Amino acid sequence: MPVLFLDFDGVLHPEHCHESKHFCRLPVLEDSLRQVPGTKIVITSTWRLEQSLADLRQRFSPDIANMIQGVTPRYSELQNVPNTLVSYQREAECHAWLWSNNLPHCNWLAVDDRSWLYKPFCRSLLLVDGRDGLTEATACLLVTRLLSLL
For 10-43, write each residue's pLDDT tens digit: 999 999 999 999 999 999 999 999 999 999 999 9
- Given 3-state DSSP classes, what are the helix, strand and coil percentages for the chain, each rounded to the nearest 5? 40, 15, 45
Give the architecture (CATH level 2) of 3-148: 3-Layer(aba) Sandwich (3.40)
- Name the residue ranges covered by the structural domains of the chain: 3-148
CB burial class (10 A; 0-12, 13-18, 19+) of residue 109? buried
Single-letter amino acid code for the residue at 9: D
**Predicted confidence (pLDDT) per residue in 76-95, tens digit:** 787 888 888 888 999 999 99
- Helices 136-148 and 26-33, axial angle in degrees (round to 10): 30
| CA contacts within 13 A on the Cβ side of 137 | 5
Q: Give the predicted TM-score (pTM) of the model.
A: 0.95
pLDDT tens digit sequence for 111-149: 999 999 999 999 999 999 999 999 999 999 999 999 999
